[in-house]
Amino acid sequence: MTPAARVKAAIDILDKVIDAAKGQGAPADRIVADWAKANRYAGSKDRRAVRELVYDAIRHCGPVPESGRAAMLALANRDMAISALFDGSQYGPAAIQPEEPVAKSGFAPAWLAKRLSASDVKGAEGAALMGRAPLDVRVNTLKADRASIDLPEPGEPLVAPHALRFEAGTQIEQWPAYREGRIEVQDHGSQIACLAAEPRAGETVIDLCAGAGGKTLALAAAMENRGRLIASDTDKRRLSQLGPRAERAGATNVEQRLLDPGREMEALGDLAGQADCVLIDAPCSGTGTWRRKPEAKWRLTPDRLARFSATQDALLALGAKLVKPGGRLVFITCSLLDEEGADRFAHFLDSHDGWRADLPPLPLGRPRGGENAQGIRLSPFHDGTDGFFVARGRLP
Ligand SMILES: C[S@@+](CC[C@H](N)C(=O)[O-])C[C@H]1O[C@@H](n2cnc3c(N)ncnc32)[C@H](O)[C@@H]1O
């Protein structure tokens, strides 16, 4: 493909990404992959270049652009080399006309940038949400340890005790250590967040929103497979991925429970007041993971955000019923919005007698929230991790 043809392809893909964002359709990754499948003439260099143009444009534009072309013109305004490719050549984009719409730059749509700013995410901290994430792995201590594991590349040891960092795009799926469950892909921030649970061998731990089990596997390893680890979720498809993952990781103490939304206690009733620790990795807007899914900023609406907050309140209330006296309730969201973090935890403490905040001693991050309702915030800007809010409550 000529460089101009790559720009034209990126514009066509961006049109689809924009439509999908408006209609809650396929994620950008899938749209890019579908394009590659349907255009076999594009070689690996072409595919990489087109993908980079698409993601650069998404990262560069704040509000949803009018069109793929408007998004690419925003990039062209910044980069003469791209603007020169609007040359009207056979497979390239048409020449730039005066007064053509150009998408606005920024790290988020205006309403969302305002909410993030109210949560002290602005300027360089906001821009960091649109950075590129590295590839972090957790060495699975059920099968290996970080000091002696033998990998094709050494990786950079991070603060979390089992974390190693690699360059984005490292093909670790090909490595025997990955296929044999000695390493798992897990963002450094997610590994740090799991430390707040301080799970011990022999305890009863509930991973209430286990999804496909990213955190469950870290908990199983920390528990050395001893004790009960209950992994529940309302999403059958996600939960069904946990079995094979647990097997590969050698995690043998995981029990699964599929929940009915709104009637979760029907499947968890026998555990009421029984858990040493309940971990709530609640569904949220995912503002902390935009480095991986930058188009997510175009998918969020004030209504969806309000629904996430309501679900988080409900899950905190549910989790609290499962904790035994003296036990721990860990609340995690991968968002940097206080309305999905510190505010939710403060609301929980205000509405639940007896519970008190117990700031988890994490090796990274900074306190966030009022004096009595503090949790820890991890952010791409300060910590080089995905963004998280992590708080822990204790029942005396
Ligand atoms: C942030 S994701 C969990 C990710 C997972 N813990 C991990 O580390 O990979 C949130 C999960 O909450 C689940 N969820 C939503 N509503 C729920 C509910 N009422 N009870 C339990 N899980 C729920 C979603 O299906 C989703 O899998």
Q: What is the ipTM of this complex?
A: 0.99
DSSP 69-103: HHHHHHHHHH-HHHHTT-S--TTSPPPPPTT---P
| Closest residue by CA, ligand 1 atom 4 | 211
CA dihedral 385→347→307→339, nearest 10 degrees, is -40
Q: How many CB atoms sit inside 10 A of residue 80's CB?
A: 8
194 is catalytic: no
What sign for the dihedral angle of Cα 107, 109, 110, 114? negative
CA of 92 to the centre of ligand 1 (A): 44
Per-residue pLDDT of the chain (396 residues; tens, 9 = 90+): 999 999 999 999 999 999 999 998 999 999 999 999 999 999 999 999 999 999 999 999 999 999 999 999 999 999 999 999 999 999 999 999 999 999 999 999 999 999 999 999 999 999 999 999 999 999 999 999 999 999 999 999 999 999 999 999 899 999 999 999 999 999 999 999 999 999 999 999 999 999 999 999 999 999 999 999 999 999 999 999 999 999 999 999 999 999 999 999 999 999 999 999 999 999 999 999 999 999 999 999 999 999 999 999 999 999 999 999 999 999 999 999 999 999 999 999 999 999 999 999 999 999 999 877 789 999 999 999 999 999 999 988
Q: Which residues contact 391 (CB under 8 A, 6 or more apart)?
A: 196, 330, 331, 341, 342, 345, 357, 359, 360, 369, 373, 374, 375, 376
Q: Which residues contact 201 (CB under 8 A, 6 or more apart)?
A: 223, 224, 226, 227
Residue type at 9?
A
Ligand 1 nearest atom to the CA of residue 207, by list position: 6
Alpha-helical segments (H) within 228-365: 236-240, 242-249, 265-268, 302-322, 342-351
The CA angle 122-127-131, to the nearest 5 degrees, is: 145
CB of residue 281 inside a 6 A radius of ligand 1? yes
Ligand 1 nearest atom to the CA of residue 262, by list position: 19
CA of 85 to the centre of ligand 1 (A): 44
Q: How far is CA 335 from the centre of its chain?
A: 8
Cβ pair 380, 386 in contact under 8 A: yes
Length of the chain in terms of residues written: 396
Give, as one character, the DSSP assignment of residue 168: T
Q: What are phi and psi of 43, to 5 degrees?
A: -80, 180
Burial class (CB in 10 A: 0-12, 13-18, 19+), 92: buried
Q: How many CB atoms sit inside 10 A of residue 385's CB?
A: 29
Nearest to 153 by CA among 167, 142, 163: 167
